[in-house]
Amino acid sequence: MAERRFIQIERKGPVGIVMLDRPEKLNSLTPSMLDELEAAAASLESDATLRAVVLTGAGERAFCVGADINEWAALAPLDMWRVWVARGHRIFDRWAALRLPVVAAINGPAFGGGLELAAVADVRVADPAATFALPEASIATCPGWSGTQRLVSLIGPSHVKSLALTGRRIDAQRAYAIGLIDEVSDSKQSLSAALAIAEKIATLAPVSVQLTKQLINAAAGFGTGATLEAMAGALSATTNDAQEGMASFRERRNANYEGH
C-alpha cells in the first residue's frame, strides 16, 4: 500500500493548490511534512506553466496549528536545532522566495508554525472564524520558523510582541486591522476567495509579476543580493556583447565588445 502523503498538490488551470492534509491532527506539521513541503516548493518552482499558488489546509477545523508537539518534544536538543528549527527555517524561506505569487487561504486557526507558514504567502485571505496566535511561550519554547523575523517585517515588532509575549489569540477582524491578513472572506469561502485572487494574478504578464514580487521582497530585506544579481545577469544576457562573448569563447578568439 502506498504511503500516505500529507501535502496534496492539485491544479486549477495555471493555479497550483497546495493543501496540508492532516485534518485529524488540525494539520499540525511533522518532520516528514516539512520534507513534503520542500518537495512541493521544488515541484512548483520547476513548472513553467504555473502562474500562482494557493496554500490552504484540509477540513474546516484549522489551517495549521503549528508543529506537532508529540513529534518535536521527543527530539534531543541538537536534533531540535538541526532537524526541526534549521530545516523548518530553510523550507519556509524557500516558500517565501518562490518566483510564483502565493496566496494563503486561512480556513481556520493558524497558530505558531501555522501562522509562520501563512506569513510566507504574498497575500493572505482568512475565514471570519479563523484565529491567530503565537503560543510558544506558554509551552516554554520560542517561535522557531521566523515568527520573530518575517512576522516583524510584516506587522511590526509591537504587534508581534503582543502576540508572542502573551500567547493570546486574535480573530480575523483584528488580524486584518493590524495587517496580518489582507482580506476576510465570507464564511467558509476562504479558498474560493484565494483562488479568485490567484486567478486574477494568472491573467497578468507572468514575468512582470514574478519580477515585481522579487523587487518587493528585496525592498523588505529578503533576498536582496540574489535579486540584484539575478536581474543584472538577466539584463546583461540581452546585450549584443553577451552574444559576442559567447561566440568569442566558442571560436577561441578575442572578443570585440561594443558596449550594447
| Domain identity same for 194 and 214 | no
Which residues contact residue 257 at a Cβ distance below 8 angstroms, ignoring those fewer than 6 apart? 241, 244, 245
Residue type, 107: N
Residue 72 belongs to some domain of the structure: yes
Closest CA to 55 of 195, 213, 152, 206: 195
Q: For residue 35, what are the domain limits?
A: 7-202
Closest CA to 62 of 18, 5, 31, 106: 106
112-131 average pLDDT score = 97
| Domain identity same for 68 and 148 | yes
> For residue 2, what pLDDT is reported?
65
- Lowest average pLDDT, out of 130-134, 183-187, 225-229, goes to 225-229
* pLDDT category of residue 183 using cuts at 50, 70 and 90: very high
Q: Is the pLDDT of residue 52 over 70?
A: yes
* pLDDT category of residue 3 using cuts at 50, 70 and 90: confident
| Domain identity same for 127 and 240 | no
pLDDT tens-digit readout, 14-29: 999 999 999 999 999 9
pTM: 0.92
| Rounded distance between C-alpha atoms, residue 116 and residue 100, angstroms | 19
179-204 average pLDDT score = 98
| Domain identity same for 83 and 179 | yes
Residue 1 belongs to some domain of the structure: no
CATH of the domain at 146: 3.90.226.10
Pair type for strands 110-111 and 15-20 = unpaired
Number of domains in the chain: 2
| Domain identity same for 23 and 148 | yes
Question: Which residues belong to the active site?
Answer: 116, 136
Phi and psi based region of residue 167 (left: phi greater than 0; alpha: psi -120 to 50; beta: remaining): left
* pLDDT category of residue 222 using cuts at 50, 70 and 90: confident
Q: Given the C-alpha cell 493570546, which residue does it identify?
A: 168
**For residue 204, how many C-alpha atoms fall within 13 Å in the half-sphere facing its CB?**
15
Q: Is the pLDDT of residue 64 over 80?
A: yes
Q: Is the pLDDT of residue 220 over 80?
A: yes
Residue 257 belongs to some domain of the structure: no
pLDDT tens-digit readout, 65-84: 998 888 766 667 767 667 77
Which residues contact residue 157 at a Cβ distance below 8 angstroms, ignoring those fewer than 6 apart? none
